[in-house]
Structure 1
Amino acid sequence: MISLIEKLSNGAQGTVRVIGQISAWTGLALVLLVAFNVLSRYLISFGTVALQEAEWHLMAVGALFGMSYGLNQGGEVRVDIFYARMSPRLQAFVDLIANLLMTSVALIIAWLSIAYVQSSYAINEGSPDPGGLGYRYLLKGTMPVAFAVLALQCLAMTGHSLLTLLRPSSPQAE
């Protein structure tokens, strides 16, 4: 049982890590796109609404998938005033509860955002601005996927907390 939980948790974290590393490239693409937009606008008086909208599309994808990658890499903000004084098992219990709550929130948002994407797809939503990007439902479609990935990361962290609680502890660790 412990081996299965460990394999599933590690596999889920590995999957999230790969997704995060791929989506991190949106940051570089965003910087290059902004630089191109600024330089082309001021040097050759060229600019398009589509390229300006592409900036916030890239930012949205990076932010949405960055949530789970940040957790994966331990980048979450934690208030250590009480947590640092807790035993490893109590820390694992607190983490278990927090991760289960976060998993629930992520799954609810993923589920609720599906209707948002469906309504966008049904009307073939595009940019309201002339010359803007079409197929906005593709961008909106990243919401349920990103929150499902966040739930996957939270479940992996739940598994690791559960492992800490299930394994026998040494007396000096307490």
Structure 2
Amino acid sequence: MRIADWLDRFAIITGHTVKWLAILMLLVQFGIVISRYAFGVNSIAVQELVLYLHASHFMIAAAYTLQVDGHVRVDIFYARFTPKNKALIDIVGHLIFLLPAMCTILYFTWPSVRNAWAIKEGAISVGGLPASFLLKTLIPVFCVLLILQSISCLVRNFHSYFEKA
């Protein structure tokens, strides 16, 4: 359980850290609107900054959302299950769906991320931010953070399932 506690604390710290990206994203977008419509000034790089902030916010906060059980769930039946059955469903979900999906995404995107870093891949658009390699790096970061949080959830669910047995 100490491993699960440590992983949960890590997810909480990352979640509380990246939540400020939402406010920064809002301020940058507000600045874009004001500069465009009040002053007729536009910047593709600043528009891409909103994209980078948005991607960073959601991909890094996904593990925190899993930790606080905030992901969307269709729980027509799940809500009525006993805690032991909920733990079993969650164990199956993590082992059959989440972990294999994250490992697959990590495996297939790693070459693209590695190549992007090798050439320091530039802007998505002409005049954009010259750091597309940083945006691509969010994919393995997302996968690793979700894998770590999934391990924490599995530890807690196994404990829950076998504790009451």
TM (norm. structure 2) is 0.92
Counterparts in 2 of 1:18-97, with a 5 A limit? 18-97=13-92
- For residues 37 and 118 of structure 1, the distance between their equivalents in structure 2, rounded to whole angstroms, comes to 32
Q: Give, in angstroms, the shift of residue 163 of structure 1.
A: 0.4
Distance 1:20 1:111 in 2: 25
User: Over aligned residue pairs, what C-alpha RMSD do you find?
Assistant: 1.5
Does the Cα contact within 8 Å between 1:100 and 1:155 map onto a contact in 2? no
Q: Percent identity?
A: 27
CA distance in 2, matches of 1:128, 1:78: 34
Alignment of 1:114-125 (within 5 A): 114-125=110-121
Q: Give the direction of change, closer, same or farther, for the CA distance of 1:85–1:129 in structure 2 (3 Å limit).
A: closer
- TM-score, reference length from structure 1: 0.87
Structure 1 CA distance for aligned equivalents of residues 47 and 72 of structure 2:
32
Q: Which residue of 2 aligns with 1:139?
A: 135
Give the partner amino acid of 1:164.
S
1:155 is matched with which residue?
Answer: 151
Cα distance in 2 for partners of 1:57, 1:103 equals: 26
1:80-102, CA deviations, whole angstroms, 9 ceiling, x for partnerless residues?
22222322211111111112231
**What runs of 5+ residues in structure 1 fail to find an aligned partner?**
1-5, 170-174
Gapped regions of structure 2 (runs ≥ 5): none
Whose Rg is larger?
A: 1
Shift of 1:45: 1.9
The alpha carbon displacement at 1:148 in A equals 0.5
Q: How many residues matched?
A: 164
User: CA offsets per residue over residues 17-63 of structure 1, 9 Å max, x none?
Assistant: 11111111111111000000110112222221110111111111112
Q: Structure 1 stretch 15-24 or stretch 83-92: which is displaced more?
A: 83-92
